[in-house]
A and B are shown apart, each in its own frame.
Chain A
Amino acid sequence: MTDKKIFGVTALFNEPNAIISAARKVADAGFTKWDVNSPYPIHGIDKAMKMKPSKLGIVTLIFGLSGAVLALILMYWTMSVDYPMIIGGKPYFSLPAFIPVTFEVTVIMATLSTVVAMFAFFFGLPRNSHALHDTDYMKKVSRDHYGIVIEAIDPKFDEMATLQLLKDLKPITTEIIYHPEKENYPIFEPRFIALLVGVAVVVSIGTYLMLNKLVYIVPFDWMEKQAKVIPQSGSEFFADGRGMRLPVKGTVAKGFIPYPFEGETNPKEVLSNPYFPTKENLELGQRKYLTYCSPCHGNYGDGDSRLAGQFPNPPTLHSDRGRNFSDGMIYHIITVGQNVMPSYASQVTRDERWAIVNYIRALQRAKNATDADLKLVKAE
């Protein structure tokens, strides 16, 4: 027994008034590492023990406020910056509509932080290895007794003198409490590692099956497998395999103007360009060219797009042939297509087509710039 390390001395009382006066005496004796244990909080024990009021509220305040701020920032960023959408005619940052969520996030942050901070940081719990556990003392104060414990780490502690001090308080019993013998919990015990590996394997297989198999079986795939139009695949609903119906023959779209050279491969005559290559016009042309033409002809018309080799190679637009085309001829090619190049009439409007033509002209001139052109650029 004697070689065990002493944790402290305890005294038990069975009456709330007695514990208050006892606590007052121990506090007056100048001890710091001591405590009173009772099955429920006793009124006035804080004064008797000379304890300072709890500062827990600071944690609540800090985390509560940051919860409010974080919630507002999240809602502001998602609803006004990342994916702005007008909903119900409200502004992007609609404070009244954000209040409920802000409030809820504040509450959850404040309460969780308070509880976690209290148990984990203020009390150092969970801790089931404390010396007081499993002692008679603990069993009594857990039920209907009130106890004082003075710890050995207190600078004023002296086994005999402190025990005497407690005895003078007329408790029902006193007890000396020793540290329990240290137990070892080797982390690398094979069985523990095997358990970890087992859990990891089960969780991985489970996740894999859930995400890759389960969601593709009945009934989870019913949304996917319904009779609906699926892009890039034929529909079984109509005989012609099309998902959408073609307009009735002879339907004319709003604003439609017939193109006079429709269907001709080498028109004798072409339209003339009604637009000057102004800055706006060229910018429009650039946008449309990059969207509709560059995937094949390359960003600068060199025919060097990433499609090269996978498709009948799109030609460069800087060949002599390309440069000698009239504006109207390029317009014609965009409108009706040429050999494997399809018509782009349905994607780009008439005005946009002319803008593209102007932009191609600018590209061609840039690729074959004369000294005079260079001077102009430098002058700018």
Chain B
Amino acid sequence: MSTDYSVEAPVVAGRLTIAQIEELVAKPMDTKPDKKFYLALTISGSALLIGAVCLLYTFYYGIGMWGNNQPVGWGFGIVNFVFWVGIGHAGTLISAILFLLRQKWRTGIARFAEAMTIFAVMCAGIFPIIHTGRPWLAGYLTPYPNQHGLWVNFTSPLVWDVFAVSVYFTVSLVFWYTGLIPDFATLRDRTTSKIKKTIYSIFSLGWRHSSRHWLHYEKAYVILAGFATPLVLSVHTIVSFDFAVSIMPGWHTTIFPPYFVAGAIFSGFAMVVTVLVFVRKIFDLQNIITIDHLEKMNKVILATGMMVGYAYSMEFFIAWYSGVQFEQFAFLNRMLGPYAWAYWTMVSCNVIFPQFFWFKKIRRSIPAMIVIVLFVNVGMWFERFVIVVTSLHRDFLPSSWGMFTPTLYDFGILLGSFGLFFTLVILFTKALPVVSIAEVKAVADGAQPTHHRGEHHD
């Protein structure tokens, strides 16, 4: 185990040859799924089914089935939406921002993280739509010429949300697919099954690994990464506008955009670590997704966790410093009010537990990091719960105060969203290369020319 930080750890450990890398990554696709796979699929599928049943009930009887009420009109629907969008952010950060920062270690985890982005955004997208109560009318959210002569309100943060999330989903999907094309071509050329070959041929678009194509391809990758970077920052910024643009005490603050983005990366990395720890074990990818990679992600979790902690304290400071009575009450109510348990869960999970990552031993210990990242996942869900529920349940007028109690259907749908996410993740691990074959080959030992005969670049 190399822990000497003065030399860069090799991106691919264990001195794998290029062909070995390909064998390793393509193995799950060449072999039949085993019992464990079906067991995992059954569990996640059941969760998905429970969610689907709860959703059907909701569609039939309306969102009166949920705990939403006056004054807490934004219950689990919005909490889950913000939670899942946040999870998605890690993938884009890894695939785009770390790419622009020339972090080679991202290659092993980028594909998986991008897939998680797409699945998380799919989970997220469901919630605002079902939250409208009549999801079959979701088409009205788009500006299209209609007989009513009406347009969407472009000055509303909720419309910005529609644009941000749908653009984010589309761009992530395109980015992911662009990365997958060379891998599809590789799979096409190695498979012996006719059906698989047809499928891979279609998806590879007939890619020929041509250097004349690689030239533009690499350029396109930089361009996509360059756009995905501000895009991912914009998405959670806009999500935070849903809150910050209103005048609710506890929401109406300028710290929300950076605070939300940091929180998103924090929770997203936690989720990526949660899933990768298992994936690398199950698929024997320890040499491609190395402990060094996990450690680096844990460092990001530590850093963003501190930012989130800073935001929590700064909110308090500003509430006091602004002298606004309602703002002060909102924050005291968070800490000491009826939902104090949620608040303290959030603080301990998000601010206190990640501090263990200061210790190198813990950063590099698989069991320890599993525990901590699970806490972070829980904590970040509670952060959204605290923001949504505690601000709404006691606003300006004591006469309109109330309490929010989620129903079984709320929990069922939340469970269902996890079911959907993990079902997609599990199917993905078997259907597509979970690691970018082309990218990892390119950073393997001896993959690049050693000398440029006088002419140097990069």
Interface residues of A (CB under 8 A from B): 16-17, 19-21, 23-24, 35-47, 49, 51, 53-54, 56-57, 60, 74-75, 78-79, 82-83, 85, 87-88, 90, 94, 97-98, 100-101, 103-105, 107-108, 110-112, 114-115, 118-119, 122-123, 125-130, 132-133, 138-139, 141-144, 215, 218-220, 222-223
Q: How far is the CB of A96 from chain B (nearest CB, A)?
A: 9
Q: Which of B166-174, B272-280, B383-391, B406-414 lies at the interface with chain A? A: B166-174
- Judging by beta carbons under 8 Å apart, are B209 and A54 in contact? no
Bound-state CA distance A133–B227 (Å) is 33
Chain B residue contacts of A23, Cβ below 8 A: 211
Q: Which 5 A-B pairs have the closest CB atoms?
A: A142-B189, A40-B442, A97-B155, A78-B151, A54-B219
Is there an interface contact between A223 and B442, defined as CB atoms closer than 8 Å? no
Give the residue of A20, A83, A128 whose beta carbon is less than 8 angstroms from that of B449.
Answer: A20
Residue of A nearest to B444 (CB): A40
Which B residue's beta carbon lies closest to that of A119?
B205
Bound complex: CA of A90 vs CA of B160, how far in Å? Answer: 16
Say yes or no: A130 contacts B136, CB within 8 Å. no
Q: Are A40 and B216 in contact (CB under 8 A)?
A: no
How long is the Cα–Cα vector from A172 to B10 in the complex, in angstroms? Answer: 29
Q: Give chain B residues whose Cβ lies under 8 Å from the Cβ of A222.
A: 62
User: In the complex, which residues of chain B have a beta carbon less than 8 angstroms from the beta carbon of A101?
Assistant: 154, 159-160, 163
Let me know if B447 is at the binding interface, CB within 8 A.
yes
Q: Is the CB of B206 within 8 A of A83?
A: no
The tally of residues in B whose CB lies under 8 Å from a CB in A reads 78
Chain B interface main SS type: helix
Report which of A21, A128, A219 forms a contact with B206, defined as CB distance below 8 A: A128
List A contacts of B208 (CB < 8 A).
37, 130, 132-133, 138
B91-146 contacts to A (CB < 8 Å): 134, 136, 143
Q: Is the CB of A114 within 8 A of B207?
A: no
Given A104-B167, A104-B234, 11 further pairs, Cβ under 8 A: A24-B453, A40-B441, A41-B217, A45-B214, A79-B151, A83-B149, A90-B155, A107-B167, A107-B231, A123-B216, A220-B136
Q: Is the CB of A133 within 8 A of B206?
A: yes
* Partner pick for A46 among B201, B215, B450, CB 8 A cutoff: B215
Q: Taking the complex as formed, is B399 at the interface, i.e. its CB lies under 8 A from any CB of chain A?
A: no
Please give, as numbers and ranges, the residues of chain A lying within 8 Å of B439 by CB-CB distance. Answer: 40
Query: Are B185 and A142 in touch, CB under 8 angstroms?
Result: yes
A106 to B382, CA, bound (A): 34
Q: Which residues of A contact B437 (CB under 8 A)?
A: 39
User: Quick check: is B17 within 8 A (CB to CB) of the other chain?
Assistant: yes
Nearest A residue to B155 via CB reads A97
Report the separation of the CA atoms of residues A90 and B153 in the bound assembly, to the nearest whole angstrom. 12
Contact residue among B59, B171, B452 (Cβ-Cβ distance under 8 Å from A108): B171
Shortest CB distance B2–A (Å): 25
Contact B449 A51 (CB under 8 A): no
Are B154 and A107 in contact, with the CB atoms below 8 A? no
User: For residue A103, which residues in chain B have a CB less than 8 angstroms away from its CB?
Assistant: 230, 234
Check A111/B442 contact, CB under 8 A, given A17-B450, A132-B208, A219-B62. Answer: no
With A21-B453, A43-B458, A57-B223: A112-B154 Cβ-Cβ less than 8 Å? no
A115 and B178 contact, Cβ closer than 8 Å, known pairs A107-B231, A144-B22: yes
Q: Is A41 a contact of B163 with CB atoms below 8 Å?
A: no
User: Is the CB–CB distance between B189 and A100 below 8 Å?
Assistant: no
Bound CA span A141–B178, Å:
19
User: Contact: A100 with B185, CB < 8 Å?
Assistant: no
Q: Is the beta-carbon distance between A219 and B59 smaller than 8 angstroms?
A: yes
